[in-house]
Amino acid sequence: MPWVDYRHIKASVSIEKVLARYNIQLKQTAEHHLAGACPIPSHAGDRSNKTAFHVDTKKNVFNCFTHCGGGNILDFVAKMEGCEIRKAAELLNEWFLIETDMFPTSESPADNKGNKPLSFELKGLKPKHPFLLKEKGLSLTTVNEFGAGFCSKGLLAGWVAIPIHNAKGMLVAYVGRAVNSTQAELEGKYKFPPGFQKSLEIFNLHRVLKEKEAVKKYGLIIVEGFFGVMKLWEYGYKNVVALMGKELSLDQLKLLMETTNIFTLLLDGDEPGREASKKIEEKLSRSAFVRVIEYPEGPKRKPAHFEKEELKTLL
């Protein structure tokens, strides 16, 4: 199981912030002391009792003297949500983006040291490959902007190589993309380097961070994959990023929330994409405005399938 630093979470979030998150208003009865009706859903006592629920803001604890008992912020969220303490810790971490060694995967804290910048760049990539210009319909300008190209030597020989940068703009990986269906069936559609943790990065975020006006006005457009980003970028949407999949990790959530609180979800329109949109919307909407784009009826189920005017109407 992933390791959770409960002590750090309790020390990082005030109970006032948690009460505000639930829009709970209490009356101040003394210094560091609040009181009011118990807000806990499972409360079986008298709801009209305006002094049943007490909060000590200095000690960061609560207590319902008539029915529910008390505890710290973890106990309070667990009672409010009807969940286990562990889930309460995960919710607090998502809501308040706590700097803590808590991970959404089975990695141990020692494993999660980040993706180290590469000490090399691939030379001789061929941006004019038919897969990029014809099959994906990208302009040579866009392909060059993203540094993609067909690789003819090394570990990615025979693949289209796509550079991945972290939020600071440092090159941390090259991902290979199969150039035809036969290759995809035999070796997989994508080839990620060993040890690379895509859950720590957001594709194209380093470019988007330079587009301050677009982000301030429109927030971020979130898609699944590399070519959705490239196509939207080519169409003039300079605020588009990709999760490189259908999952939103806590590390990615933090990167997004540090950038803006306005998001447009344009994941793939197939059933897995729709399910992923629901889950990601739930995570983001706890502290941000989220708009989910619904696809029109028809065979087009990826952002890159649409022409410029179609996409403009969709967005």
| One-letter amino acid for residue 151 of the chain | C
Structural domain boundaries enclosing 148: 130-200
Q: How confident is the model at residue 305 (pLDDT cuts 50, 70, 90)?
A: confident
pLDDT in tens, 14-71: 999 999 999 999 999 999 999 999 999 998 878 889 999 999 999 999 999 888 999 9
Looking at the structure, do residues 11 and 97 belong to the same domain, yes or no? yes
Percent of the chain whose pLDDT exceeds 90: 68
Using 50, 70 and 90 to split pLDDT, how confident is the model at 73?
Answer: very high
CATH number of domain containing 12 = 3.90.580.10
- Asked if the structure places residue 77 within a domain, the reply is yes
Query: Would you say residue 153 lies in a domain?
Result: yes
Residue 165 clears pLDDT 50, i.e. is over it: yes
174, 147: one domain: yes
Domain of 231, CATH number, reads 3.40.1360.10
Residue 3 has what pLDDT?
63
Tell whether 76 and 137 lie within a shared domain.
no
Taking a C-beta distance cutoff of 8 angstroms, is the pair 156, 176 a contact?
yes
pLDDT number for residue 287 = 79
Let me know whether 185 and 272 are in one domain.
no
The type of residue at 170 is: M
Which range among 4-8, 34-38, 120-124, 189-193 shows the weakest confidence by mean pLDDT? 4-8
Spatial neighbors of 38 by CB under 8 A, at least 6 apart, are 45, 47, 49, 52, 53, 64, 66, 67, 68
**pLDDT above 70 coverage of the chain, percent:** 94
Residue 105 · residue 199 · CB < 8 Å = yes
SS3 160: strand
Whether residue 186 sits in one domain with residue 147: yes
Exposure of 39 in the CB half-sphere (CA atoms within 13 A): 19
Does the model's pTM come out above 0.75? no
Residues 263, 285, single domain; the answer is yes
Same domain flag for 216 and 267: yes
Report whether pLDDT(74) > 80: yes
From the number of C-beta atoms within 10 Å of its C-beta (0-12, 13-18, 19+), residue 173 rates as buried
Same domain flag for 210 and 306: yes
Are 90 and 170 contained in the same domain? Answer: no
What does the pLDDT read at residue 159? 96
- Residue pair 163/147 in contact by the 8 Å Cβ criterion: yes
Top-confidence residue, 95 or 280: 280
Residue 114 has what pLDDT? 82
Q: Mean pLDDT across the stretch 237-245?
A: 96
Kindly report, residue by residue over 99-114, the tens digit of the pLDDT: 554 444 434 333 445 8
The whole-chain average pLDDT of the chain stands at: 89
pLDDT at 4 over 80: no
What is the structure's pLDDT at 103? 43
> What is the C-alpha to C-alpha distance for residues 312 and 232, in angstroms, rounded to an integer?
10
The candidate with the shortest Cα–Cα distance to 102, out of 89, 85, 120, 113, is 89
- Residue 2 pLDDT: 55
Domain boundary among 162, 179, 200: 200
153 contacts 145 by C-beta, under 8 angstroms: no
Total structural domains in the chain? 3
The answer, yes or no, to whether residue 285 has pLDDT greater than 70, is yes
What is the Cα–Cα distance from 220 to 308, expressed in whole angstroms?
18
Task: Render pLDDT for 100-155 as a digit per residue (tens, 0 to 9).
Answer: 544 444 343 334 458 999 999 999 999 999 999 999 999 999 999 999 999 998 88
CA distance 22 to 72: 15
Instruction: Indicate if 69 and 142 belong to the same structural domain.
Output: no
**pLDDT interval class at 199 (50, 70, 90):** very high
pLDDT value for 99: 53
Q: Which two tokens stand for residue 145?
A: 């902007």
Q: Cα(106)–Cα(99) distance, rounded to whole angstroms?
A: 18
Q: How far is CA 98 from CA 4, 13, 74, 90, 92, in A?
A: 12, 8, 14, 10, 8
Domain termination site, one of 145, 170, 200: 200
Looking at residue 109, its pLDDT comes to 39
What's the confidence (pLDDT) of residue 110?
Answer: 38
Q: Got the DSSP string for 222-269?
A: EESSHHHHHHHHHTT-TTEEE-SSS---HHHHHHHHHH-SEEEE---S
Please report the pLDDT score of residue 113 as a whole number: 58
Structure tokens at 170: 């440092």
Q: Are 15 and 97 within one domain? A: yes
Mean pLDDT of 1-22: 83
Q: How much is the average pLDDT of 222-236?
A: 96
